[in-house]
A and B are shown apart, each in its own frame.
Chain A
Amino acid sequence: MTAESLFTAPISLGGDDVMVRAEGVVKKFGHNVVLRDISLEVKRGEVMCLIGPSGSGKSTFLRCINHLEVLSGGRLSVEGRLIGYREKNGVLFEMKPNEAAAQRRDIGMVFQRFNLFPHMTALENVIEAPIQVKKMPKAQAIERGKVLLDRVGLGDKFDSYPAHLSGGQQQRVAIARALAMEPSLMLFDEPTSALDPELVGEVLDVMKELAKSGMTMIVVTHEMGFAREVADTLVFMDAGVVVETGEPKAVLANPQHNRTKAFLSKVL
């Protein structure tokens, strides 16, 4: 394992290779319909940014992809495999918890509130899942963990506890922690929303680097500059539906839909 390959996404299998496919996804909490009808595709190596007003369902959709929320309707598959269910002769079977856990291994997630394990040092955070879940030998996990932390610019913070790191540093540890599982897809749930403005840039830099390496990424964000610069596709969601999809520069410069226009006029 070289340092370079840690930041390299799995080999692309061709331009039209679909990584995530959502078809008519519905999510209800009780009577509250949060996702009405989400259909979209994310190709391998694609960076998709989800934008929209709060309560539009962006984060919920992201959590559905990782099976942190269970779908109420529609179908959602990652790398051709349904999330949370096995299909046999047209019948869906709920997955056993260990099967669902196995699916999540290949999907990295970065949270708004970082959710680092506060009782572990930065390095311990990063090596925890490879050792516990992948049964990687500890020495190897430590070696890879150090390389990863070094890559996110925290080569001197291995032994720091999260409480002693700034928000931006914590979020970069969280990214390294997710990458340690060698995911084929990375989900970012408003990764910079909880950060002081001066710390946003360092996290976005890491994400840009990751995007350049070819990682497939779905990013819920309010950072329009990042979306414009890095995303291949921009998706505007409102009230649980996809309102507008397109090339980011085009959508941001020339939104087609009134709701998109109204939203962008407030945030840009």
Chain B
Amino acid sequence: MATKPSTQKASGANSAPSGSRLAPPIKAVKLRHPFRWIVAGVIVLYFAAFVWDAAVNRPVYDWAAYGKYIFDKRISEAALVTLELTVWSMAIAIVLGIVLAVMRLSPNPVFQGVSWFYLWVFRGTPVYVQLVFWGLIAAIYPTFTLGIPFGPQWISVAAADVPVFWIAVVGLGLNEAAYMAEVVRAGILSVDSGQSEAARALGMSWFQSMRRVIIPQSMRIIIPPTGNEVISMLKTTSLVAAVPFSLDLYMRARDIAGPIFKPIPLLMVASSWYLLFTSILMVGQYYLEKRYARGTGFERMKASVESTEEIAT
């Protein structure tokens, strides 16, 4: 090819006329928003009154107790357990969710059916009930065995020997996987059909086009709701009492509050820790979204941390 016409055109279009010839910036009186200032002032006033009232007039808050327990070792350890529950159960949920979504969209009707059935069961029953069930699993299935039916058995585990922590993780993870599957499926369906056609036309297999072309592009759609799911999971871990598992943040706070008859300051302690973690997660989500906006022309579009918080709660 002798010519490179477009590069010249493109550079010509991009170069702005020299600065000296630009018209001077517009000088205009800014539009005033007095009503905004009034409303903001009223809100700040009310909030300040609420805080002052809480600090001075409401002894039940017992801020001394709050201060005493907020960095209590038992509380911070329990916060760590809650974090571990969240991380492990979301890890299970994301991996299984991707598998289920890909199965649901595969050309194989058997896979589609299996995925549909899983969602039907795990999305169709409350997570609290599922957690109670998992807690009773040892009564129904005393041992888990990996092997060939009527043939050799490789691994056999007594259900009673499985640590309660892992039963809670499995219970939360399997439930969440059903929701993650729908998140991933929506992301995959959002990718333009021309992408899979282009991949097929290049001789890529269905699996290759999924892994290399479709799923990476769907990430941009999948990540915001996944962030919401993580935040939601962090709070859902407070249900593991149903298993029963009692070392997480909420149960620990209650156990401390019980004997000293101070439920309210310890609820405030637990809430503060939950809020801290969700805030950190929101920052992480912001950077992940930026990372996957690569090449979409939306790089400069600010992923709004505030708006995701609205959806999360």
| Chain A residues within 8 Å of B, Cβ to Cβ | 66, 68, 97-98, 101-102, 104-105, 107-109, 111, 113, 115-121, 128-129, 132-133, 151-157, 161-164, 166, 168-169, 172, 174, 177-178, 181, 198-199, 201-202, 205-206, 209
Contacts and interface: CB of A to CB of B under 8 A. Distances in A.
Kindly name the residue among B3, B206, B213 whose own CB sees the greatest number of chain A CB atoms within 10 A.
B213
A110 B192 CA distance: 16
B200 A105 contact: no
Nearest to B220: A119
A166 B201 contact: no
B7 A117 contact: no
A117 B6 contact: no
Given A111-B198, A205-B3, A118 B203 contact: no
A209 B107 CA distance: 40
B257 interface: no
Interface string B8-29: 0110000000000000000000
Given A202-B5, A205-B1, 5 more contacts: A118-B296, A153-B6, A166-B10, A205-B3, A209-B1
Interface residues of B, number: 31
B197 interface: yes
Contact of A153 (B7, B198, B199, B297): B7
Contact of B1 (A68, A117, A206): A206
A132 B1 contact: no
A258 B257 CA distance: 92
A201 B5 contact: yes
Nearest to A206: B1
A129 B204 contact: yes
25 contacts: A66-B201, A97-B205, A101-B200, A101-B204, A101-B205, A104-B203, A115-B194, A115-B198, A116-B198, A117-B213, A119-B294, A119-B296, A128-B202, A129-B202, A129-B203, A152-B1, A153-B5, A155-B4, A169-B7, A172-B6, A178-B201, A199-B6, A201-B5, A202-B3, A205-B5
A104 B209 CA distance: 14
Nearest to A199: B6
B225 interface: no
Contacts of B203: 101-102, 104-105, 129, 133, 181
B217 interface: yes
B6 A202 contact: yes
B212 interface: yes
Contacts of A166: 6, 9-10
A117 B213 CA distance: 7
A117 B198 contact: yes
Contacts of B212: 128, 132
B195 A115 contact: yes
B34 interface: no
The 9 A-B residue pairs with the shortest CB-CB distance, nearest first, are: A105-B203, A161-B295, A115-B198, A129-B202, A163-B297, A109-B201, A153-B4, A115-B194, A133-B203
Interface of B: 1, 3-7, 9-10, 107, 192, 194-195, 197-206, 208, 212-213, 216-217, 294-297
A153 B192 CA distance: 27
Contacts of B217: 117-119
B295 A181 contact: no
Contacts of A169: 6-7, 10
A68 B201 contact: yes
A31 to B, nearest CB: 23
Given A104-B202, A162-B295, A163-B297, A119 B216 contact: yes
Contacts of B295: 118-121, 161-163
B202 A178 contact: yes
Nearest to A160: B295
A202 B9 CA distance: 11
A172 B4 CA distance: 11
Nearest to B13: A166
A102 B204 CA distance: 8
B296 A163 contact: yes
Contacts of A128: 202, 212-213
Kindly name the residue among A117, A133, A156 whose own CB sees the greatest number of chain B CB atoms within 10 A.
A117
Contacts of B9: 166, 198-199
B197 A151 contact: no
A55 B24 CA distance: 53
A117 B195 contact: yes
Given A101-B203, A201-B5, A209-B1, A111 B294 contact: no
Contacts of A199: 6, 9
